[in-house]
């Protein structure tokens, strides 16, 4: 049976290899501390689950939903942005309901650019950005994210010929995998660069609800002129522990939103109406759960980084997201180090090179278990004496 070249060209699913390795280790009877995952470990808040239960019993929700989602959910999105970011969103023209933001990110190149056109992707970055480029049959150039520039792309280092060719750019702050956050000045530079080069910006705001040290992550749409050049994609997966519910939205530029809605008209009807009702409750209901979750992740971050400091494994503490981006000892590649930790002390981390060329030299650690388990992982790693010289100095 023939399989299309489009599918044959898709990159290997990076995380499937990690899952397989961890599963094999567990099957052998080892107690694996899995810090390589990105799946929230807490349950969905009860008031959201109750809203879903009620909605599922409503016969009206058993029918097809409106093609482009419930108007009440779009209004809830607009109210959320007004409350959280002081950004005005037109629920009629500036909101597209998504089957999780991964769907939006993968389908966006097909919406906005043609085969052979160029898009800009962060390196390191979320691996499924590449899936969208391949399925859209577009070319891509990468923007290095390095520690010396606070893991922000340097637009001045993008060659002029590439900047002029590019039609779409992906950004993601708080950042997966580095934990870096964007600044107001950076987003102002982004808008100026986009206008100068006629580039559409898609800001992946998946970790928008998770910021530390009293600093709330900023929305791209807070920047003057942002809606003129792009959109922001927000998922309920992280902020409300709704990863399995697969619900998110894109907001911003009305032409981009219309393009997303148009492609989805041909691919779906819409989300199960009950999930939309639960999403309305999440966005408009009691937000105490968000504050508590943020505090939980900050406590975990502090415990993990403190434990690492004690053994000499030094890194920049993440300012947002639930990931820590940890440097690899010089005698290892990222892949070798990840395998070494799993094989020697049953600690799983994500190989940084799986996120891009500039991910080499790092591993990603997920802060998705309690402080004691994170500290135990570091204690196991300390027995390998990888950082003894650093700690002594």
Q: What is the DSSP string of 123-151?
A: ES--THHHHHHHHTT-EEEEEE--GGGTT
- Given this model, what pLDDT does residue 389 score? 54
> Is pLDDT of 81 > 50?
yes
Cβ neighbourhood burial of 116 (10 Å; 0-12, 13-18, 19+):
exposed
- Going by pLDDT thresholds of 50, 70 and 90, the confidence category of residue 241 is very high
15-72 pLDDT, tens digit each: 778 888 889 999 999 999 999 988 899 999 999 999 999 999 999 999 888 889 999 9
Instruction: Kindly tell me the sign of the dihedral angle through the C-alpha atoms of 148, 13, 211, 202.
Output: positive
Residue linked to tokens 């990105």: 38
What pLDDT is stored for residue 18 in this prediction?
A: 84
- In DSSP notation, 214-256 reads T-PPPPGGGSTTHHHHEEEEEEHHHHTS-GGG--EEEEE-HHH
Contact between 261 and 96 (Cβ < 8 Å): yes
Of 189, 191, 187, nearest in space to 225 by CA: 191
User: pLDDT class for 113, splitting at 50, 70, 90?
Assistant: very high
CA-CA distance, 80 to 284, in Å (whole number)? 7
Residues 6+ apart with CB under 8 A from 236: 242, 245, 247, 248, 279, 282, 283
Query: What is the pLDDT confidence band of residue 11, given thresholds at 50, 70 and 90?
Result: confident
Give the list of residues 6+ apart from residue 20 with CB closer than 8 angstroms, or none. Answer: none
Query: Residue 106 — very low, low, confident or very high, per pLDDT cuts 50/70/90?
Result: very high
What is the per-residue pLDDT for 390? 52
Cα dist from 341 to 199, 232, 261, 337, 345, whole Å: 42, 37, 45, 6, 6
Percent of the chain with pLDDT over 70: 99
| 229, 201 contact by CB (below 8 A) | yes
Instruction: Label the pairing between strands 362-366 and 350-351.
Output: antiparallel
- Say yes or no to pLDDT of 5 above 90: no
Least confident of 2-6, 110-114, 377-381: 2-6
Contacts of 368 (CB under 8 A, 6+ apart): 35, 37, 38, 39, 40, 41, 322
pLDDT at 166: 97
272 neighbors 246 (Cβ within 8 angstroms): no
Average pLDDT estimate for 379-393: 78
**Closest to 281 measured CA to CA, from 238, 249, 246, 236:** 236
| Per-residue exposure over 298-336, b if at least 16 CB sit within 10 Å of its own CB, e if not | bebbebbbebbeebebebbbbbbbbbbbbbbeeebebee
Sheet with 323-327, side-by-side order of all strands = 323-327, 362-366, 350-351
Average confidence score pLDDT of the chain: 94
| pLDDT computed for residue 137 by the predictor | 92
Report whether pLDDT(269) > 90: no
d(CA 78, CA 82): 6
Model pLDDT, residue 352: 96
Average pLDDT over residues 280-287: 97
Could you give the CA distance from residue 314 to residue 208 in angstroms, rounded to a whole number?
A: 26
pLDDT in tens, 302-331: 999 999 999 999 988 999 999 999 999 999
Q: Look-up: residue for tokens 């999440």?
A: 282
Cβ-contact 118, 156 below 8 angstroms: no
pLDDT of residue 393: 46
């Amino acid at each position: 049976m023939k399989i299309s070249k489009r599918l044959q060209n898709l990159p290997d699913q990076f995380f499937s290899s990690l899952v397989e390795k961890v599963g094999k280790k567990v099957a052998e009877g080892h107690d694996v501390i899995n810090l390589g995952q990105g799946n929230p470990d807490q349950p969905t808040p009860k008031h959201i689950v109750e809203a879903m239960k009620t909605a599922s019993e409503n016969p009206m929700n058993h029918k097809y939903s409106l093609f482009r989602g419930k108007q009440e959910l779009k209004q809830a999105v607009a109210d959320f942005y007004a409350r959280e970011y002081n950004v005005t969103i037109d629920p009629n023209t500036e909101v597209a309901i998504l089957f999780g933001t991964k769907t939006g990110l993968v389908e966006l190149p097909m919406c906005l650019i043609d085969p052979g056109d160029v898009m800009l992707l962060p390196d390191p970055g979320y691996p499924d950005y590449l899936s969208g480029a391949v399925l859209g049959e577009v070319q891509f150039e990468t923007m290095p994210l390095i520690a010396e520039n606070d893991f922000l792309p340097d637009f001045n280092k993008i060659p002029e010929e590439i900047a002029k060719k590019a039609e779409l750019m992906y950004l993601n702050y708080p950042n997966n995998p580095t934990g870096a956050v964007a600044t107001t000045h950076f987003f102002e530079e982004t808008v100026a660069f986009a206008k100068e080069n006629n580039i559409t910006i898609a800001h992946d705001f998946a970790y928008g609800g998770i910021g530390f040290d009293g600093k709330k992550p900023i929305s791209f749409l807070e920047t003057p002129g942002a809606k003129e050049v792009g959109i922001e994609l927000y998922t309920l997966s992280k902020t409300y522990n709704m990863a399995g519910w697969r619900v998110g939205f894109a907001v911003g530029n009305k032409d981009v939103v219309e393009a997303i809605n148009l492609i989805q008209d041909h691919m779906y009807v819409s989300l199960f109406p009950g999930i939309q009702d639960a999403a309305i409750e999440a966005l408009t209901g009691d937000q105490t759960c968000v504050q508590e979750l943020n505090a939980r992740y900050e406590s975990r971050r502090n415990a993990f980084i403190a434990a690492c400091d004690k053994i000499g494994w030094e890194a920049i503490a993440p300012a947002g997201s639930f990931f820590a981006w940890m440097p690899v000892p010089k005698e290892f590649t990222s892949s070798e180090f990840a395998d070494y930790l799993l094989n020697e002390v049953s600690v799983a981390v994500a190989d940084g090179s799986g996120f891009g060329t500039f991910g080499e030299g790092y591993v990603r650690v997920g802060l998705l278990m309690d402080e004691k388990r994170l500290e135990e992982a570091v204690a196991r790693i300390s027995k390998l004496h990888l950082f003894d010289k650093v700690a002594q100095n």
